[in-house]
Copies of this chain bind each other. A is one copy, B any other.
Amino acid sequence: MIIVMQRGASKKEIGDVMREIEGMGYRTHPIYGVERTVIGAIGDERGKARLQKFETSPGVERVIPILKPYKLAGRELRKEKTGIAVGGNAVFGTGTVPVIAGPCSVESLEQVCSTAEAVKAAGATLLRGGAYKPRTSPYAFQGLEEEGLKMLAEARTRTGLPVVTELMKESVLDLVVAYTDVIQIGARNMQNFDLLKAVGQVQKPVLLKRGLASTINEWLMSAEYIMAQGNMNVILCERGIRTFETATRNTLDLSAVPVLKHETHLPVVVDPSHGTGHWEYVEDMALAAIVGGADGLMIEVHPNPHEAWSDGSQSLTFERFATLMQKARRVAEAVGRKV
């Protein structure tokens, strides 16, 4: 940690800060510049958030952390990428690009099974579907709950596709674990720290969506919450951030993919359906994501988007999804990968 003293800080102020840092078990290293003094505090600053306390010391201008705040999620202590296998045929993080596809909400057995069959035929290797739905309005459809989980499990039985579904509250964690293969933590719960701790205590893979206004740093800290509890199987999912632009539902931050490849060993999946909010833009962004380095895709598909109970405008039909998958295979091949 670097402590920058104010221009004109007194010798006493500098001495006081140094003595206090040393009292906390760090070594200090002052640099006396032309205009300012800067003090290096040597030692592991992580887990010692209280070094920030020097922001309130007389004569201090600012405190700059040097070490990355995440350990388990970071690339410094674990250089090689983490591969996360789900079911028998999908591995995230090792060169292939598994595709998770399915409806926004589970609406009926028929709907989810027909979708599962169609996306499997087109080449998807996992099924998505929401049984618990986070909706902005309390008057909107809130999901079929356990009934929906059962339908997902049945679709898995029929097609062999592992299932990804969202968990919104700890009280149904056991249920979700029992019926499904990957636990999704939605964007709105990315900093629901108790929920993160709870999924950290099971061994199912967790698909952790980025919060609407979360920095990459905060996102990795949320992964760290899960990993610190013992569950190392975290898959990150970029799904767009909130900006001033309204032409798309969110702004898909595709450059987060190469940043994450640099910062973390965890795999990262891209969801262009939520990222754009309009089916017309999904294909272009899905292909771009593969080429940009994504370790997987998550795509909303519905037998009849016009009749979908939620997110119809961003869902692909079976035909459009099949076309996308054909293109995806060609594009992946061009960069030496495989969908």
Contacts and interface: CB of A to CB of B under 8 A. Distances in A.
Given A292-B285, A305-B56, A242 B244 contact: yes
Interface in A35-92: 35-36, 38, 40, 42-44, 46-47, 49-50, 52-53, 55-57, 64, 66-67, 69, 76
Nearest to A276: B255
Interface string A253-281: 11111110011000000001001100111
B141 A4 contact: no
Nearest to A56: B306
A221 interface: yes
Contacts of A55: 312-313
Interface centre among A66, A171, A288, A327 (most CB of B within 10 A): A288
B254 A245 contact: no
Interface stretch (A116-124, A153-161, A331-339): A331-339
A307 interface: yes
Interface string A77-115: 000000000000000000000000000000000000000
A168 interface: yes
Q: Could you say how many copies of this chain the assembly holds? A: 4
Given A40-B38, A188-B192, A284-B293, A137 B213 contact: no
B213 A212 contact: yes
A31 interface: yes
B216 A138 contact: no
A306 B55 CA distance: 8
Given A247-B259, A258-B281, 9 more contacts: A34-B43, A36-B66, A52-B313, A53-B313, A139-B228, A171-B171, A242-B244, A247-B256, A262-B280
A2 interface: yes
Contacts of A140: 47, 49
A10 interface: no
Contacts of A279: 56
A76 B7 contact: yes
B306 A2 contact: no
A69 B163 CA distance: 33
A26 to B, nearest CB: 10
Given A192-B188, A259-B281, A309 B50 contact: yes
B252 A280 contact: no
Contact of A306 (B53, B141, B244): B53
Interface string A308-339: 11101100000000000001001101110000
